[in-house]
Structure 1
């Protein structure tokens, strides 16, 4: 009887692992389809498109600066952004006029470019990854799978397993320890 119980437990553990893997694949495919439908429905055409099927990302450059200067770890990043869900609902933005237009304006908030230190884990992984693909001065729409956003736990009004779409405008660079010229 103990062998049967142990065997059953092992089978359940194996099924659980397979199920998790299958669920991740189903989720990735569902998000890929949602992203492609969003791109088609919103007639998004860029100057360059990069798809990463294994990870589920899609990057569409709206403008390329030609600066050929990418953010490095510890750079202070300044970026204007609009965060959307696949139903096109704006959940956050750094831009005052857009916040007002879509009805999420908060008079207590100071709308200005978002500033953070790149590559130190202070933003969701997918946001930082998208920024790492850009050159300073680029504008991009980044389609971020839920696993690289808030994952299975969600965050605030973002439900679990919710993919995100960010329109990003990478503005400027200030590196730690850089001489200000004084």
Structure 2
């Protein structure tokens, strides 16, 4: 027993010594890195303010007088570009910067990132969170972060058109220019107002007395009861999905995909039976109002789309609380055509 205890004690002591040594090495590295960053700042950004945690912040554009400050639980929309101390871009939300870097893609929607502001959010670095605590809506700052407040031992891992020409190496400081575009206290109310404004301005309808989150209209169709669609019907749908500003994020129409994305995927109509699901809730709401052969448009809040989480599984990221617009066509029912002796000419594709 004494021998076993002695061995266990020696292993424990060795482990503690290794951990202590690693911790000391980390502390030593942090001290050296901070000293190097301090020296770099004196030469390259002498007017920046040093904070207690070792990062620096410098105002590029001051906030307007009385501008809103974010509070825990608010949502914020922020634009940013990140660089190494050498000036190499590793991330950007700005299209013009991505184009300069040669990293922009036709599927990437360049807009401010929409995030929940809280004490901890994995989408923020600690340095960004520290900066946001001091910012106001409309303000632009540049922050200089030691690696412990930036990307640490992992470096940067951006993709999808937001990355720059270079990756940020592990354990190095980072520079981030940040713009606080908007502080949102009620994201649901915000997007509801956006959808109503769109319907009123783009479709020339009267503003409803009550808030509405879903607008739908038939732009080509018929009222033949024989061609009425129900929740049990299986239909073939061609669609174009876009954001409120017209940016197309998805389509299964080849001619549109070629024109917008410069690609050809041999797209085909999407088969859909409302009662079985498989598409976003907006289609469940719209399709049973239609007839085979109809063409329609709808605009709706994220309640009918991808909700408070958004969707990052497609080639274009759909952010949380994002309103969407769809124009879509229901192919003519083939069984009806055969019964009536008609030909099967309905392609559902764009003319």
Partner SS state of residue 106, structure 2: coil
Separation (CA, whole Å) in 2 of partners of 1:22 and 1:122: 27
Partner SS state of residue 35, structure 1: helix
Deviation of 1:146 after TM superposition, in Å, equals 2.5
In the alignment, structure 1 segments of 5+ residues that lack a partner are: none
Higher relative contact order (CA 8 A, sep 6+): 1
Match of 2:173 among 160, 163, 172: 163
Partner SS state of residue 80, structure 1: strand
Separation (CA, whole Å) in 2 of partners of 1:111 and 1:133: 25
**1:29-81 residue CA offsets vs partner (Å, 9 max, x unmatched):** 233234334434544635xx1322xx332222233325364211122212221
Is contact 1:67–1:137 with CA below 8 Å preserved after alignment?
no
Deviation of 1:118 after TM superposition, in Å, equals 1.2
Distance 1:20 1:176, change over 3 A: farther
* TM-score calculated relative to the size of structure 2: 0.44
Is contact 2:37–2:146 with CA below 8 Å preserved after alignment?
no
Match of 1:93 in 2: 92
Is contact 1:76–1:173 with CA below 8 Å preserved after alignment?
yes
- Counterparts of 1:1-182 in structure 2, within 5 Å, are 1-43=3-45, 45-46=47-48, 49-52=49-52, 55-65=53-63, 66-67=65-66, 69-119=68-118, 121-126=121-126, 127-156=128-157, 157-176=167-186
Rg larger for:
2
Is contact 1:124–1:148 with CA below 8 Å preserved after alignment?
no
**1:138-174 residue CA offsets vs partner (Å, 9 max, x unmatched):** 2211223333333334453444334322111112211
Partner SS state of residue 22, structure 2: helix
RMSD: 2.8
Is contact 1:142–1:167 with CA below 8 Å preserved after alignment?
yes
**Structure with the bigger percentage of strand:** 1
Partner SS state of residue 77, structure 1: strand
Partner SS state of residue 133, structure 1: coil
Separation (CA, whole Å) in 2 of partners of 1:100 and 1:179: 34
Deviation of 1:82 after TM superposition, in Å, equals 0.8
Separation (CA, whole Å) in 2 of partners of 1:87 and 1:122: 26
